[in-house]
Structure 1
Amino acid sequence: MALNFIKKNDKHNNTNWCKLFLSALIPCILGIFTIVFTVQQQVLSQQQHEIDRQNQRDAQRETAFNAYINDISNLLLNTNHTNKTNFFLYIRTKTLTVLRSLNPERKKYIILFLYESGLLQGTGLDLSGAEFDNVELIGPYKLDGLYLPNASWKNALIVNCSLKKAVFTQSRMPNARFINSLLESASFAETILDNAYFKETSVVGINCMSASLIHANFLDAEVVQGIDFTNADLLYAQFTEKQWLGQRVLTNAHSFRYARLPNGSFGDLSPTRNLLENGDAEQKCSTVEKINWDENPKNCLNVIKFNKTSVVDMNIDNGTWGNCAFVMTTKSVRASQYIDLRPYSRLIDLDNAMFSSSAFIGCNGSTNASYVEISTHELNGNIMETAVFLNHIGNTANKNGMMHNYSIQNYRLLKYTHKARVTLGIRSSQPKNTFCYFDNVTFSMQKRFN
């Protein structure tokens, strides 16, 4: 009896627990359902709010786009454009303003509208600083001569477009894709084209001077010929052997001067090329041509013919000396010439550049008043480091002992040097009636390592 009572009691307890569980489960289910429903409603509400917001933004973009098109169209139709400067400045300001609020699709139509209106063909409209990132031009479009320098066009997709003689100088176009297009004689000078891809595209005679083409892919291009890669960065760029050598024998070959090549080495650099203009005084020897030196004071640097002076006779041989030399006669005078080193910026900025300079200089009598000074500068003109002077090389006088060879060899250029200045001068402390002579002044660039 006791055992049966216990079993009946356990059975009664289990039944109570089940009733209790079921009575608690139903509110839990209802609560969970309420929570899930509420969350779903909130998500749907947020999604609807986002859709409404996007629709509102799109309507605002459409309004801004239409207002811009109408404004510029009326300007083109109703203005005689007598003041071209203000005309193009107004269009530039309106265009840069509206571009900030438009999506890539409408930006595409801004490009097409301005081009078809004749405003983006190098006629005077400058859109430097414009942003066209992610814009896709999927043609067919004939956009020969398109003028968009110094713009941002990241992730550009250009398909079935003719861009002969287009100008993208100094633009930023990483990850650009050119497919089934013509890029003949276009300018990409100083343009960033890292990871660019060229497929079934004719890339002929384009200017890629100082461009960055790291990881660019030309393997699927139709033709790759006659490209100026001077000072370009081609690190890890991909070419077929045929493309690298030039596919068309009868047209110009590629130029790889001073460029960083795909394997990290550097292109051709002539260590004997003189970057100075008229360093040998021959340019104004028998004519009134410009002397090509900035003089301080004016007309302090003159040219003499060897056969018209008894002060100096440098006629060692015609191949070395030519017919004329420079002469200075006044105290504290200087004549300078700046050399643009930007074509060598890839070498310089990778700490792989040095220069050499030499000259024949001397003065009458025993004075040592003449000098040649080299200073290096940033692009803005700031001096990079203390100027250096050419050093005398012993036993190098010309046959009458007047002029001696001065030189500095393999001098390392600091990173970001973009200009050099060569100065001919006479020091302030010197006897009266001193004549100082300069000839065969040279400045050349070399690589520090391959």
Structure 2
Amino acid sequence: MSAERDILIPELLSPAGDFETLRAAIFAGADAVYFGAKNFSARKGAKNFSAEEIEEAIQFAHERNAKCYITVNTLIKDSEISECMQLIEKLYRLKVDAIIVQDFGLIYQIRKEFPNLEIHASTQTTTTSLQGAKFLKDLGVARVILARELSMLEISEIAKIIDTEIFVHGALCYSYSGQCLMSSLIGARSGNRGRCAQPCRIEYCLVNDSGILEKGHLLSMKDLCLYPVLGDVVKTKIKSLKIEGRLKSRTYVANVTRIYRKALDIIKELYLSDKKQEFEPSKSDLDDLAECFNRTFTTYNINAPVHLRKNSQIKLIKNKENTFMDSSRPNNRGLYIGRIANSKNDLYFEPIRECKENDCFVVFSSKGNITLESNDFYIRDNKVFISNNQIKSQIRENDRVFRVRCSMLEERANEIFRHSIKRYPVEV
């Protein structure tokens, strides 16, 4: 096995909103984790890490051969620069592997005071071109986290001149990263200051002089999932594959990391064995990704020819099936699991995947989306029967059922912890 071949498999980078999630990511196979301090992080809503927790997290990760990247990725005010640089100094002394930064002034100051500290340019810098990447490289940036809007061809060109990192899974912004001022305008909460109110997830009406043309979550994007095209992605010189989700749960991070780790290991094995065989995505793993959380998946622009993307708005109007928007709902869609059937006035569905008593379902009914919690159903003979009479009156035969919480994913996350925690025999 040559070192040159090892380099072809990108780093798997997972999110951590708190210490428990960081442990889940590393136990599940992440090569690196990214997380924020209590201040200057673009995910103010996450629990984030105190100075003591950052030190403990870095030690924990390094003992397990994982890297730590700290997000200092908000725009910095003049009145904050001194406090921010004090944080940078602490991180430098703790031997953090890199700092993720958006503010160009902060990049300049870090290079001046801590020339050996590795800087990664945040996706908030909106790097969309070869020229932008060259500019950041000249500033002393070691890695560029590219805008999500780029195609594989564009990413490959940039990867030739600088280490690149791309998002492979998670939420998408309607605006270019770092360019959205809508949250500031509507809710006085700036996304560039870590306080995005997600105005793209609320309802809007599209109107003209004649009245309302369309109503719904018109700015809500689908979720990014590059798992189906991962075999093509790793053929580029991309350095790091990033999972979005510092606000997500331990179960989400553990399972998404587990699935991408498994896929990358399979791709590496196929490559090293010299088999002329392409990576084939697992339907079971793709379903698991959907069960973790999804707003319907899209590969976005990754395979889009550049010249066609100029007409993307026309394509959106003409072919709604071939888009990266979903105006029907802004939250977790879950996984399609079956349809309501009726037998002797018993309403039930036969799930296409195994179900448990602690699962949660949503029935897509003509009267709206109806949630089934554990006390609203029971399982018998591999069928899920509706026991809540009030809910029965609102659903009809052939209504679609989606599972939005899967207890087996929680069990798998717990299993990852059980297999990874070191245990030592003691004499009692």
Q: Structure 1 length as normaliser, TM-score?
A: 0.24
Query: Which structure is higher in helix share?
Result: 2
The structure with more radius of gyration: 1
